[in-house]
Amino acid sequence: MSNVALRTLIMGACVTLLTPLLMGAAEAPPEPEVYIYHPESGERTYLSDLTDLIPSEQTQSPGTITPMLIDTPTAYAACFGVGTPQFPDFPLRSYGWVPQATGTVYLQCGPISTKTYGWHHIQDRHQNQWQARVNAIPSSVAWDDFMEGITRQVLDWPDNYTKEYGGKRCYTSMIQIWTTSGTLLYTFNPSVVVSMTNNRVITSYAPDTTDCRRFAQWWYE
């Protein structure tokens, strides 16, 4: 057999062997996505759709904050007081219909010093709890973005909430974390405490079973 014929035979064999492998690689299914699921309403929130709750500091030059909206400080500057006084009541997210609330409810920065409500309170008291939830899923989502996505589902579709106590109510829902491949990662019952006086989120945390009932009687019992 000539060298040319031998090379042709070898090349043909290689193509025959590699073609199924290459086709298999091209047709490999995408990595499954993770989503937040509210069984009662059927609402899904994909983690890939979550946006940054507090974007990183953006600068044009050292010491100059670039606003995201004209004449509006960034959430980063508002929450941490970069170049300006800290603004505790800066709204990070809004929730238009929360049962028994007298208006739109806001998740605000909260005071950086006392950490009595909002993002700073949640970060101080419950970041580790939320981070543990994130660590249990195949995702690099930030703990606070994950927390906010779930807070929204709880306030939009509460399974139950307490009677008012001290100007507050505690809301809860069963939440499931799924992958698009059909795997249920876990189920838990996060709790969100809202001030009825100021229409703002005081805290949001992530227990296996809600403890709202320790604050007051359920609205539905």
Distance of alpha carbon 136 from alpha carbon 85, whole angstroms: 37
On whether the CB atoms of residues 195 and 101 are closer than 8 A, the answer is no
Question: If we measure between CA atoms, which residue out of 85, 97, 80 comes closest to residue 156?
Answer: 97
- The pLDDT confidence band at residue 36, using thresholds 50, 70 and 90, is very high
Query: pTM of this prediction?
Result: 0.80
Q: How far apart are CA 219 and CA 163, in angstroms?
A: 5
Instruction: Enumerate the β-bridge partners of residue 169.
Output: 194
Would you say residue 2 has pLDDT above 70?
Answer: no
Domain positions in the chain are: 1-30, 32-214
Question: Which band of pLDDT confidence, cut at 50, 70 and 90, is reported for residue 10?
Answer: very low
The band of 122, judged by pLDDT with boundaries at 50, 70 and 90, is: very high
What's the pLDDT tens digit per position in 62-110? 444 433 332 345 788 888 887 667 899 999 999 999 999 999 999 999 9
Predicted local confidence at residue 166, as pLDDT: 96
